[in-house]
Structure 1
Amino acid sequence: MARTARDVLDGALRLLAPAAGENRLVAEIAAGRAPLAAVAALALEQGQVIPADRRSFTHLALRATALQQPPVTAFYDHLARGEAVALERLGPLTAACGLGEEAVRAHEPRPGCQAYPAYVSWLALGAEPVDAAVALTANFAAWSASCATVALALREHYGFDDAACGFFDLFAEPDPEAAERALAAVGAGLLDGRLSETLAHRHGRLVQAYEAMFWSTLADEFVPR
């Protein structure tokens, strides 16, 4: 039986799902034990990640257009628009952490936190766009779960209001349009033969590893073992 787009995405989700409990920082935030400084550092690092990812998604959309893959272009256009919204929602989060504009401008990014967007940039330059779409879609599931946990914890333990939690709420909430566009993109890749599940899984393993590095970098700094 021929593989469907749903088969491909479900398989990637199963294969690439992170082990339960491996994210120490999210666990500490969920329990209210992480210092506010850890949340502030998370917000500052995302201030670097989000614009980088938006540029990467825009470039992937352009490459997909050049390859005459409209569904893949539409997938990345949607992601790029989402990153623009995320950037707007970072302001209330950084303010709730007590960070002013000067602190945001002066922030020196941590290499371990910026490895993720650096690799996404590599995907934008060198990967088959539909392969990258599979890898990123699998990663978004783990990211979404982390954001949902953090959003709840910030309300329960840190006194953050809805505006301050809006950044995490954005990624925690289901995005039916993104899911629909991912299926269409993968379906197009299957149809034109450009999709390689082997490479998509390889990209996905690295994306997940670099996201884990993002979280562990902050955990090692703010949450001693």
Structure 2
Amino acid sequence: MTHSAPDLLRTTTAALAPDPEANPLVPRIAAGTASRTTLAALALEQTWVIPADRGAFEYLAVRSAAADPEAAAFFTTLAQGEALAGERLVAFARACGAQETSYEPLPGCQAYPAYVAWLALNAAPADAVLALTANFSAWGGYCATIATALREHYGFTDEACAFFDFFAEPSSDLDRLATAAVEAAVDAGRLDEKRAHTYGRMLQAYEAMFWSALSKTP
């Protein structure tokens, strides 16, 4: 049975939703008990993640432009979003007192962008669209929680919270582009649901690894 694109996106996102216990850090930030040192580490890890993901999405856009223009549009929009997020990250890092020159990134945090880069090189574009869209749902929820906590418990300004606000805000345009990309792949018979699910499962595991590694910072 062939599923529609909206059904595939919905069911894949639901199937890959992380265990509430899989993230040891966001609940601490939500409660205001995470240290500012840990927040600074979060900011500094993201200074590595954001440009890496942007480059991967740009590569996927180029790779898929000729044969899969719907996926290319999705990845182009993702890359543009990473550029905007990178601009907003500066204020958060400044508010945390993050010192980039003396920081060594954590392997557990950088496994996620490394896998996104692997997908950029190896995954069929539409399969990557489905996997990434499922993962973004969890990430957006985390960002919404963090944005609220930074204001309530840490006294951060709207400017300092803008990075998380950006990812927490639902994007109807991105949803539309994801649906179009998956629909085109389904219609052409080139979507591998099982493989896309595997990619999504791996992304969620690396996402959990990111937060687990950060939770061990002082």
TM-score by structure 2 length? 0.97
- 8 Å Cα contact 1:21-1:27 kept in structure 2: no
Query: Counterpart of 1:199?
Result: 195
Residue deviations 1:85-112 (CA, integer Å, cap 9, x gap): 000001100110113xxx2244221100
Residue deviations 1:14-60 (CA, integer Å, cap 9, x gap): 11000123211000000001101111100000000000000000011
The reply on whether 1:164 has 2:160 as its aligned counterpart is yes
Structural mapping, 1:3-152, within 5 Å:
3-66=3-66, 68-99=67-98, 103-152=99-148
The reply on whether 1:213 has 2:212 as its aligned counterpart is no
Partners of 2:107 and 2:23 in 1: how far apart? 18
- AA matched with 1:152: T
- AA matched with 2:33: R
Q: Over aligned residue pairs, what C-alpha RMSD do you find?
A: 1.0
**Are residues 105 and 192 of structure 1, via their aligned partners in 2, closer, same or farther at CA, if it must alter by over 3 Å?**
farther
2:217 match: secondary structure: helix
**Where in structure 2 are there 5+ consecutive unaligned residues?**
none
Partners of 2:2 and 2:104 in 1: how far apart? 49
Q: What is the deviation of 1:209?
A: 0.2
- 8 Å Cα contact 2:68-2:125 kept in structure 1: no
Partners of 1:173 and 1:122 in 2: how far apart? 27
**Where in structure 1 are there 5+ consecutive unaligned residues?**
none
- 8 Å Cα contact 2:50-2:85 kept in structure 1: yes
1:24 match: secondary structure: coil
Residue deviations 1:131-169 (CA, integer Å, cap 9, x gap): 011000000000000000000000000000000000000
Q: What is the deviation of 1:208?
A: 0.3
- AA matched with 1:64: S
Partners of 1:127 and 1:22 in 2: how far apart? 26
Partners of 2:15 and 2:101 in 1: how far apart? 39
Partners of 2:42 and 2:148 in 1: how far apart? 16
Of all paired residues, the percent bearing the same amino acid is 56
Partners of 1:153 and 1:87 in 2: how far apart? 21
Residue deviations 1:172-191 (CA, integer Å, cap 9, x gap): 01111100000001001101
Residue deviations 1:64-87 (CA, integer Å, cap 9, x gap): 113x21111000000000000000
TM-score by structure 1 length? 0.94
The reply on whether 1:176 has 2:175 as its aligned counterpart is no
Ranges of 4+ aligned residues in structure 1 off by more than 2 Å = none
